[in-house]
Structures are given as C-alpha cells and as structure tokens.
Amino acid sequence: MSRAFYSLPDPKEVGLKWKPYQQAREKVSRIERRLRETQAERERIEAETRELDHAETRALADAVLKGEADPEARHGAHEKLAKRIADLGRELEAVNQALGLAEEELRITVFENQDRWKAEADKALEKALKEEHEAYAKALELIEGPRSRRVYLQELSGWIRYLVPNFNPPSDVAGRSAIAQLQGDATFAEEKMHERLAQERQQAKQEKGAV
C-alpha cells in the first residue's frame, strides 16, 4: 500500500483549532486502528491454524507409533479457520482502500484551508517567538543573581582557607552564554520565518504580474 501520510501533526498541541483538519485526521486514525486490529486478528487466526496442524500431526505420529488407525481431525476446524482468514483478507483489502480514501480527504481538506491555516500558524509562531524571547530574559534575570552569589562564595570559601594576597572577584558568563545560545536558536527560527514569508510574497507578486 502506498501511504499518503506516515505521521500527522496535531494542531491542538499548540492551541490551533482546525476543526475540519481534526475531523479528517481522526477518520484516518480510526481506520488505522481498524487496520491494526484486523491485521492482528489475522495473525492470531493464522497462528491458531498452524497450531492445529501441529496438533493433528502429533496425533497422527502417536497413532503410527502405536500401530493405530489415523485419528480423525477436528471436525470442520480447518474449514472455519480458512474461511475466517479469507474473510479477514477481504476486510484488510477494504480497510486499506478506505484508508487511502481517508488520507486523500485529509489532503484535500488541508489544501482547501491552506491559506487560512497558514496565516493562523504564522501568527501563532510569531506569538510563540515573542513569548520565548521574553521567557529567556526572565530566566536570565532569575539565574544571574543566585549564580553570581554562588560563584563569589565558592571563591571566597577557597580564599579564606589559603589567604592568598590577591582576591579577584570571579567573572562568570556561563549562565548568560547558555541563555544566549537558546536565544540564538529562537532568533534563527524567526529569521527563517521572515525569509519564508518574504519569498512567498515575492512569488505571489510575480504570479499576479504574470496574469
């Protein structure tokens, strides 16, 4: 089976309410569960069939060993299992077809709402970036004071033991450096967002001019 999607995002995780997307996504998930259940049941029935074959072979081996007649196999057991396997095979084919249709419905739903959802995602991204920068500023404010005091006391604890002639207040930038690295990741993401938006605006302008 050629899958259209291997994994799907969940906009609810970031507070976006895309109801048509959620409905189409849930349909795909429901059919995927049905597919897994059907596959598991077929594997179970196939294993039961193999076990039945082994049991009948062992019974026949015991009869041969004892010089007895061939014992009669369990009446209708194979036929019932074979029919169930055939039914499950047809069900798997139908579920696979339904899954392909559901994935195509999802793709069409996203395509039809793409412009609106793209704008919503971009707006949410801008807000998240602003909140992230503010969080780093607060984190740095919370970290620097206690960390500076701890580093100073660490050096003072050593000085009081050895009484070296000069005491140089320690310089510590580790906390600020760590926050700056995280801020850099957010800044890079922001730059890529603006770059993407600029490219899309330019493309739209060119397409409009070509009409």
Question: What pLDDT is recorded for position 157?
Answer: 93
Q: What is the DSSP letter of 13?
A: G
The two tokens of residue 160 are 């009081």
Residues 58, 63, 64, 66: is their CA dihedral positive or negative? positive
197 in Cβ contact with 205 (< 8 Å): no
Q: Residues 139-167: pLDDT tens digits? A: 998 998 898 898 899 999 999 998 888 88
Structure tokens at 75: 């009446």
CB of 179 closer than 8 Å to CB of 139: yes
Which contiguous run of DSSP H or E holds residue 208?
A: helix 174-210
d(Cα 15, Cα 175) in Å, to the nearest integer?
A: 31
Task: Give yes or no for residue 49 having a pLDDT over 90.
Answer: no
* Cβ neighbours for 46, distance < 8 A, ≥ 6 positions apart: 85
- The 10s digit of each residue's pLDDT in 90-130 is 999 999 999 999 999 999 999 999 999 999 999 999 999 99
